[in-house]
């Protein structure tokens, strides 16, 4: 499923892995039963590799961590939240192209 360099975010590690990260973090809120989420997986794997050292990719399984989904108002999946400095700076709902996601990451890094 996820590449080695993708963080599996949980209610327990979310503050340290995402909110306290010194790098921008793209968080994918997903579920096993979600077709578009599965289609997005390989794209996130590629981005995690390409952005090593510049940005991080994390995944939150909304079935396992409903509290995080509720905390961030996740109503549809996949929803991607881009965090920088512990704050959400961008939200993307639905399946997006790798190019669109790279643009978002590049803006966050700049």
Which residue numbers are catalytic? 34, 37
HEC assignment per residue over 5-33? CEEECCCCCHHHHHHCCCCCEEEEEECCC
Residues with Cβ within 8 Å of residue 26, at least 6 apart in sequence: 44, 47, 55, 56, 57, 58, 80, 81, 82, 83, 101, 104, 105
Residue 53: strand, helix, or coil: coil
Instruction: Output DSSP code: residue 54.
Output: T
């Amino acid at each position: 499923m996820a590449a080695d360099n993708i963080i599996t975010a949980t209610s327990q590690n979310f503050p340290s892995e995402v909110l306290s990260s010194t790098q921008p973090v793209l968080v994918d809120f997903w579920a096993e039963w979600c077709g578009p989420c599965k289609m997005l997986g390989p794209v996130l794997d590629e981005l995690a590799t390409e952005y090593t050292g510049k940005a991080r990719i994390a995944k939150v399984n909304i079935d396992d961590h409903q509290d995080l989904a509720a905390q961030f108002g996740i109503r549809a999946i996949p929803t991607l939240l881009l965090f920088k400095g512990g704050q959400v700076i961008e939200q993307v709902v639905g399946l997006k192209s790798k190019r669109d996601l790279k643009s978002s990451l590049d803006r966050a890094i700049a």
